[in-house]
């Protein structure tokens, strides 16, 4: 039994559930699992969670917020590379990812009231009929930073790691839409994916969001099948997904199998009510906001992230050391990044790179020296191309805890 227990810890949670019977699970716990037949698919008994918290196909260094559906974020120091490694790219799922994907039978349907025709494309069609493009694009969950809002907001309590910038490869959405034909009254597109609703009901749509037609027709709007020159990880949308850099990642539909061209704002699940919406005007924390006073989130706000050193670092004496990280600003570019070591009383300008392409994040760095032994906080503040800077405190409160772009802070100690 000890041998079985050690072996089970090496399995991914998904494989563990699929390969292990409830009788065996009960044996591992030393107890009969009452109502075991009612345990939802994919949910591991909490008594066995220790040592098995790894998202399938991902690094065990991710911080897991939820396992049904899978939601996990990246510690900031693991985001140091200019291109985010696939195994540490965050996971934000609303349903259960499809299993046993057959790429030979996978299709993408384009239709809708503003489509001139209904067209169905295989993966082979997409790869052979259209030009292929690659872009480094920032994807960030709209709720990244939610945990810092007071009063708290419901939802996954993301800290700072629901963001990444990978190299995405595929075809331009524009080319596919134009091949199908776009009517003059088109105003929006919406997506549908092959994930399964948490209820298990195959007829229920998990999430179906979208973007205005202008965003859909941008050069960088992709139907992608590669991430960092490899197949997209299963938890990030394999074999096909949309990628809209600079907007909430929820617009970038995963496991993509259908796109609708709409003559109105798309009205699929997670497009109405309070989902991915913020108040049209600032409100006091805790205010109850009417649905009609909410607006859809579009371009994400300016933001920065210190990726080196990691928080908690020890610095020896007067040695000069490097601070570096990334900054991004939705549809805009970042014009400046500053850091402070005295709680915002003064700021030092960083060296800032240009983006490798539009909608990619930019790297910043600076050499600093801490004046004496003791505790310090290093703060980063980015400013976008319109002159808007990150606030030093958590910005406008909203019911769902979206768009927190307060200055990033890390703690270091000179010894």
Q: Is the same domain home to 33 and 131?
A: no
Residue from 87, 220, 70 nearest 164 by CA? 87
The SS3 assignment for 46 reads: helix
- Average pLDDT, integer, range 227-232: 98
Q: Is the same domain home to 272 and 203?
A: yes
Residue from 336, 310, 309 nearest 390 by CA? 336
Sign of CA dihedral 402, 405, 406, 412: positive
Q: Is the pLDDT of residue 142 over 80?
A: yes
What is the domain-level CATH number for residue 322?
2.60.40.650
Q: Is 358 within the bounds of a domain?
A: yes
Distance separating alpha carbons of residues 336 and 348, to the nearest angstrom: 11
Structural domain boundaries, residue 189: 107-296
Cβ neighbourhood burial of 90 (10 Å; 0-12, 13-18, 19+): buried
Q: Is 79 within the bounds of a domain?
A: no
Distance separating alpha carbons of residues 288 and 194, to the nearest angstrom: 35
Distance separating alpha carbons of residues 49 and 32, to the nearest angstrom: 17
Strands 321-328 and 334-340: unpaired
Amino acid 261: pLDDT = 98
pLDDT in tens, 278-322: 999 999 999 999 999 999 999 999 999 999 999 999 999 888 999
Q: Is the same domain home to 319 and 263?
A: no
Q: pTM of this prediction?
A: 0.87
For residue 215, report the phi and psi dihedrals to the nearest 5 degrees: -70, -40
Q: Is the same domain home to 138 and 218?
A: yes
Whether the CB-CB separation of 170 and 222 falls below 8 Å is answered with yes
Distance separating alpha carbons of residues 333 and 160, to the nearest angstrom: 20
Give the count of domains, the chain: 3
| H or E segment to which residue 72 belongs | strand 70-73
Q: Is the same domain home to 195 and 210?
A: yes
pLDDT in tens, 14-44: 344 444 444 544 544 445 655 666 555 545 5
Question: Of 296, 322, 351, which residue sits at a domain end?
Answer: 296
Q: Is the same domain home to 286 and 326?
A: no
Q: Is 58 within the bounds of a domain?
A: no
Average pLDDT, the chain: 91
Amino acid 2: pLDDT = 42
Q: Which two tokens stand for residue 177?
A: 């839409």
Q: Is the pLDDT of residue 415 over 50?
A: yes
Q: Is the pLDDT of residue 169 over 50?
A: yes
Q: Is the same domain home to 152 and 246?
A: yes
Amino acid 40: pLDDT = 55
pLDDT in tens, 104-114: 999 999 999 99
- Average pLDDT, integer, range 235-240: 98
Q: Is the pLDDT of residue 5 over 80?
A: no
Q: Which two tokens stand for residue 99?
A: 């299993």
């Amino acid at each position: 039994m000890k041998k079985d227990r050690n072996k089970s810890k090496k399995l991914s949670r998904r494989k563990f559930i699929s390969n292990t019977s409830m009788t065996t699970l009960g044996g591992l716990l030393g107890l009969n699992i009452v109502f075991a037949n009612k345990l939802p698919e994919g949910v591991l008994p909490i008594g066995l969670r220790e040592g098995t918290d790894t998202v399938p196909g991902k690094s065990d260094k991710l911080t897991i917020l939820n396992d049904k559906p899978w939601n996990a974020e990246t510690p900031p120091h693991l985001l140091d590379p200019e291109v985010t490694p696939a195994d540490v790219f965050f996971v934000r799922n609303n349903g259960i990812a499809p299993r046993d994907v057959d790429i030979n039978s996978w299709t993408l349907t384009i239709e809708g009231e503003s489509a001139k025709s209904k067209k169905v494309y295989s993966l082979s069609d997409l790869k052979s009929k259209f030009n292929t493009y690659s872009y480094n694009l920032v994807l960030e969950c709209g709720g990244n930073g939610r945990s810092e809002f007071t009063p708290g907001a419901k939802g996954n309590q993301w800290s700072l790691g629901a963001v990444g910038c990978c190299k995405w490869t595929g075809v331009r959405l524009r080319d596919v839409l134009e091949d199908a034909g776009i009517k003059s009254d088109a105003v929006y597109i919406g997506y549908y994916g092959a994930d399964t609703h948490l209820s298990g009901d195959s007829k229920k749509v998990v999430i179906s969001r979208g973007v205005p037609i202008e965003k859909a027709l941008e050069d960088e709007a992709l139907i992608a099948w590669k991430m960092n020159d490899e197949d997209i990880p299963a938890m990030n949308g394999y074999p096909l997904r949309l990628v809209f850099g600079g907007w909430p990642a929820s617009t970038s539909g995963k496991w993509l199998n259908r796109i609708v061209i709409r003559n109105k704002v798309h009205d699929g699940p997670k497009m109405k009510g309070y989902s991915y919406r913020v108040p049209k005007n600032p409100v006091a924390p805790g205010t109850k906001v009417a649905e009609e006073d909410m607006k859809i989130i579009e371009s994400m706000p300016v933001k920065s992230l210190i990726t080196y050193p990691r928080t908690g670092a020890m610095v020896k004496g007067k040695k000069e050391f490097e601070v570096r990280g990334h900054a991004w600003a939705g549809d805009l570019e970042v014009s400046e990044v500053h850091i402070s070591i005295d709680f915002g009383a003064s700021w030092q300008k960083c060296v800032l790179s240009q983006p490798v392409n539009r909608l990619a994040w930019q790297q910043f760095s600076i050499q600093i020296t801490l004046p004496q032994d003791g505790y310090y906080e290093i703060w980063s503040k980015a400013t976008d191309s319109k002159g808007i800077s990150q606030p030093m405190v958590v910005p406008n409160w909203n019911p769902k805890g979206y768009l927190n772009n307060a200055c990033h802070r890390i703690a270091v100690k000179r010894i």
